[in-house]
Structure 1
Amino acid sequence: MGTTVFERQRPTDAVIDASLQDTALSVFWLDDVERPAHPPLRGTTSADLVIVGGGYTGLWTAIRAKEREPGRSVVLLEASRIAWAASGRNGGFCEASLTHGHENGVTRWPQEIDRLEELGLENLDGIEATVRRYEMDADFERTGQLAVAVEPHQVEWLREEEGFLDREAVQAEVHSPTFLAGAWERDACALVHPAKLGLELARVAVELGVEIHENSLVREITGDGSGPVTVVTRDGAKVIAESVALGTNVFPSLLKRNRLMTVPVYDYVLMTEPLSAEQLASIGWSNRQGLADSANQFHYYRLTADDRILFGGYDAVYHFGGKVRPEYEDRMESHRKLASHFFTTFPQLEGLRFTHRWAGAIDSSSRFCAFFGTARRGRVAYATGFTGLGVGAARFAADVMLDKLSGEPTERTELAMVREKPIPFPPEPAAAIGINLVRAAMNQADHNEGRRNLFLKTLDAVGMGFDS
């Protein structure tokens, strides 16, 4: 196999060691906010709609439910704290795509990709309008996203994209010796402060009349759907509900049918200290776009409101058994790799330190984007499997679930993308074996000018893939 730029231009161990010397194993976004507490659910109550999960999917469902029908009683139950999981620890890329990019969408749903992309932009417009309407402090910046080529073969991939930038043009946007070309989608991505967005969605939900309960882990849903169903927490508290929306995503589904439909894949992230004016000038980046390179194992990076750089991605780690555990977040091997790749990307920032390192589990589905459905005779709706696109797509998913719970067909519910389900992952040990084989094949492709081997091509053909 060949080498990548991150191997050819690797910084010294001394540079990596110094950058990580005082780094805290902690989520910057969550450390950067004060989180109001919501009391646990006690006793037995009733509601028109119960939402399980206090991340973006659940919070958007709560807000959209109250905006549609202000008189509807809505209770939201969160197992831990609002936006503490994926919604509080992601990169803050709020993308318009509902399909994990055009190529994935056009391959799976060629007959409706144009409409899906329109709906995705309408959804992002709706998020921006909501931020403005309720004066949400979420560091929302609609700066777009710049895809960059860091290997010669990637230049040809980007040349077909709108907004193509040659080497000189991409260097004028952001100066990195690794950037050979780029493609700037100016309107299809916004950047947000993930934890602020989650907390502001919760604030708005409460102001609209939603009842939020934290530390209220739901254990089961009882009832066959012929009448109201009952949502039962770990502590025995109950909500008798006309309908339920599930936004549990990476955590084990309350519906057995979905247990093999997603796998938790760990994604790793670093956050730098704030850049000085001189350091910022050395890299340009005055238009503050989100950045992502074009490899199979890709990096994503962006500026924060106080001019830190978040740098994440590349490793996507699956642990045998599909468990979500705090100890999986401390993987120095991945964080050292990210630090190395950071200084390959920006050697002029040598001496910059990382203040935070963390990780989070992504609910990955085999089709790379969310899927939807109902259970208990239409009284329970779910959306899961966002595969890293939930910051934006969660609002669309909320509307799909509410449409489905209404029982009335809509344009959204009739989409093939909404009606179809992904191929499930196999049980263990086949899941771990298969996922690790795919990871190895993707790494091989990145070291072989992007050429996908027969194994990956076969998986592509049958619609069974793996991505973070």
Structure 2
Amino acid sequence: MAPVAMRTVAQSLSDALPVSYWLDDPGKPAPQPALTGDERCDLLVIGGGYSGLWTALLAKERDPAWDVVLIESREVGWAASGRNGGFCAASLTHGFANGLARWPGELAKLEEMGARNLDAIEAAVARYGIDCDFERTGEIDVATEPHQVAELKELHEEAERLGLAGGSQWLDRDALRAEVDSPTFLGGLWDRDGVAMLNPAKLAWGLKEACLGLGVRIYENTRGLDLASAGAGMAVRTPYGRIAARRVALGTNIFPSLVKRVRPFTVPVYDYALMTEPLTEEQLAAIGWKNRQGLGDSANQFHYFRITPDHRILWGGYDAIYPYRGKLNSDYDHRPETYLKLAEHFFTCFPQLEGVKFSHAWGGAIDTCSRFSAFFGTAHRGKVAYAAGFTGLGVGATRFGGDVMLDLLDGERTERTRLEMVRSKPMPFPPEPFAWTGITLTKWSLARADERAGHRNLWLKTLDRFGLGFDS
């Protein structure tokens, strides 16, 4: 871009607050007190994001007599659950293509269970009166390059052949631009039923209130320091006390698991997003977007974007930053060079919005695994269950993960625990510095594929052969 244009891009960020728009809310609930002293319970849930909240809520719904405690090291929803784009998808497999490549024999079942899971989330939002701006608008996968048009059409045809297209609709260039107008759009695949838009922080806070209403005891600013067997149950040490529990569910995701052998299966990736100021009526008319779908482009390094009830546009993705040696570091939570890149891409997509400014810019870590979708397991002779590896698609899938953890703790075979997806594990990442080297090479290769009409080099083809890879 020309220097003047780049100055304009930079100026669009001049007032951006370095905090998640969703968390910058005066209605944010006060934290529950920290645990001081010792506790006993039937089920201890560690982690106050979606994984932990859904698990605690589902446990009380299954058996109201269960004594359930949830602990969170900071405040409920402060991490990935309060920083994401608010796309609540039915897919349990990080999209149809990933599911087809990994579990073709049970994909129909996974798709059906994912649809039921999304319906159950919508029902819970209504049942508990959770005010999180839940809108079943769907999502459009957008092609911005000719090869992406061909790939999306082929994917849609395959879904139709398998009878799994559901409410998906192919949109040609004109039909797509009638929905959302960008000169970069060439075509798109609209999943009308399988994705909802919502306010992610309000969902977390609403789940917290629902849990409290059912009698879950929640302790915030209470970190689980270690986990050990204690007779027939488990013991967890916290900074000011100790919890004895019959069973433990771990919903810590990107944060180091208290079951150490789980740690090599996930790595942290930092994702970033911008939020615009509210658009004027004239600006809204310039882009259309009356049906409020979520959108995501089809590149390897992709953007996701959606419009909010107050007419702001969230614009995120593209840069997926893996920290050197895989160490979590809050310094990565904000990355001005990524914000500039995202802002430049935003105005390329929507040149008619020149002059719009961004009110918020933020980032944070998500957990990813080598198969891009959650994995599950138990430890300590079945007394501990875990779910992790949601790879940025956890707003909806974490509820399914909570059900899986409770099934595993019950020790009974269910339709969920019989799934190959649930019974299998992804390939662990190699030790450092090999993981960093491999992920860096993969990111370079994915960017190069985007520049070369989707052509995958030998490195990516080798990863494909072994079911590995890296998804931004």
TM, length-normalised to structure 1: 0.96
Alignment match, 1:95: 89
Q: Aligned partners of 2:369 and 2:387: how far apart in 1?
A: 11
Aligned positions of 1:110-125 closer than 5 A: 110-125=104-119
Aligned to 2:320, the other structure's residue is in SS state strand
What is the alpha-carbon distance in structure 2 between the residues aligned to residue 375 and residue 57 of structure 1?
18
SS at match of 2:151: helix
Residue 302 of structure 2 corresponds to residue 298 of structure 1? yes
Residue 29 (structure 1) aligns with: 22
Matches within 5 A, 1:178-197: 178-197=184-203
SS of the residue corresponding to residue 413 of structure 1 reads: coil
Q: Deviation of residue 35 (structure 1)? A: 2.2
Q: Which residue of 2 aligns with 1:227?
A: 232
Residue equivalent to 2:428? 424
User: In the superposition, relative to structure 1, how do residues 169 and 211 fare at CA in structure 2: closer, same or farther (>3 Å)?
Assistant: same
Q: Which runs of 5+ in 1 are unaligned?
A: 1-6
CA drift of 1:27 comes to 1.0
Pairing 1:457–2:458 present: no
1:211-256 CA deviation, whole Å, 9 max, x = no partner?
00001011111116x51110111x1411110000000000011111
Q: Which of 157, 163, 173 is the aligned partner of 1:167? A: 173
Mapped contact 1:95–1:392 kept (Cα < 8 A) = yes
Q: Which amino acid aligns with 2:136?
A: R
Offset of residue 26 of structure 1 = 1.1
What is the Cα-based RMSD across aligned positions, in Å?
1.2
Alignment of 1:51-450 (within 5 A): 51-160=45-154, 161=156, 162-223=168-229, 227-233=232-238, 235-450=239-454
Contact 1:250 1:263 in 2 (8 A): yes
Q: How far apart, CA to CA, are the structure 2 residues paired with 1:163 and 1:457?
A: 30
Matched, 1:19 2:9: no
SS at match of 2:362: strand
Q: Report the CA distance between 1:325 and its aligned residue.
A: 2.0
Q: Following the alignment from structure 1 to structure 2, what is the Cα–Cα distance between the partners of residues 430 and 409?
A: 38
Q: Give the secondary-structure state (helix, strand or coil) at the position aligned to 2:326.
A: coil
Q: CA deviation at 1:11?
A: 8.6
Structure 2: how far apart are the matches of 1:311 and 1:11?
22
| CA contact 1:10–1:341 (8 Å) conserved in 2 | no
Contact 1:29 1:89 in 2 (8 A): yes
Identity of counterpart residues, as a percentage?
58
Superimposed CA distance per residue, residues 52-103 of structure 1 (whole angstroms, 9 cap, x where no aligned partner):
0000000000110000000100000000000000000000000000001111
Within 2, Cα distance between the matches of 1:436 and 1:47? 44
Whether contact under 8 Å (2:35, 2:240) holds in the other structure is no
> What's the offset of the Cα at 1:14?
2.4
SS in 2 for 1:361: strand
Instruction: Give the distance between the partners of 2:3 and 2:236, measured in 1 at CA.
Output: 53
Count of matched residue positions in the alignment of Structure 1 and Structure 2: 459
1:41 to 25, 31, 35: 35
User: Equivalents in 2 of 1:152, 1:372: separation in Å?
Assistant: 38
Contact 1:11 1:340 survives alignment (8 Å): no
Which residues of structure 2 form unaligned runs of 5+?
A: 157-167
Name the SS for the 1:250 alignment partner. coil
Name the aligned partner's letter for residue 344 of structure 2: S
Q: Retained in 2: the 8 A contact 1:167–1:182?
A: yes
TM-score for both structures, normalised by structure 2: 0.96
Spell out structure 1 runs of 4+ moving beyond 2 A: none
1:15 deviation in Å?
A: 2.0
